[in-house]
Amino acid sequence: MAKVTLYPSEEVIEVRDDQNLLEALRDRGVYIKSSCGGVASCSDCIIKIRSGEDEVSPPPFEELALLGNVFHITKERLACQTYAQGDITIDISDHDKQKDQARLQSKTSSQHRKNNPAIKVRKKDDVRKIYDERRAKREEKNKASQNEDWVRHWEKNKENAGETDSVPRPKRLGGGQRPKPFTYTKDDDESKD
């Protein structure tokens, strides 16, 4: 059993060797923020080791992938990956339940404000009315466009040109010219040398 002193409260708790700090602190009712549940994928449970750096387990691969190999500089570790092997002092002042709840509340309440113009709540009757107005505008536009000269202009051009047959003529590529035959002489071969 290792003794862990919590800063700033100076509370001392005992931690088993096979229990990580996140589990031990939660068992004692100490709040530590963690989104992933202790699988080292969120980096929310960062704590600082104030004393006894040599009395903790070395960082595993998952922790190194998230935080890097800067423990000796910053003294930051993930609580879910840290096992106490002796007496240590940790800083948990960044884990404040009231601040985290207030931050979460401000995030969720800003999305549901009535003054938020991004969110529009419409009743079924209003939606039907808007749909009918748009459909009426679309039909009016289609009727107006049928009276104009550019609608189906390709058919009008055929009628004007006297092409009334329903089978279109195939397109002629290359300007309608025949390819010239290729001729080969011995002189051409000798001129390359």
Segment 3-41, tens digit of pLDDT: 898 988 888 999 988 999 999 999 998 999 988 888 888
Q: How confident is the model at residue 49 (pLDDT cuts 50, 70, 90)?
A: very high
* Predicted TM-score (pTM) above 0.75: no
What pLDDT does 136 receive?
A: 95
Q: What is the percent of the chain where pLDDT is above 70?
A: 75
Check whether 106 has a pLDDT greater than 90.
Answer: no
What pLDDT does 79 receive?
A: 92
Three-state secondary structure string covering 51-79: ECHHHECCCCHHHHHHHCCCHHHHCEEEH
What pLDDT does 178 receive?
A: 72
110-165, pLDDT tens digit by residue? Answer: 555 556 666 677 889 999 999 999 999 998 888 877 666 666 666 666 655 555 55
Alpha carbon distance 34, 76 (integer Å): 15
Number of neighbours of residue 2 by Cβ within 10 angstroms: 20
Output the six-digit token pair for 42: 């969120």
Q: Which residue has the tokens 């309440």?
A: 109
Check whether 60 has a pLDDT greater than 80.
Answer: yes
Alpha carbon distance 131, 21 (integer Å): 58
Q: What is the percent of the chain where pLDDT is above 90?
A: 28
Fold annotation for 2-97: Ubiquitin-like (UB roll) (3.10.20)
Mean pLDDT in the chain? 81
H or E element in which residue 49 lies:
strand 46-51
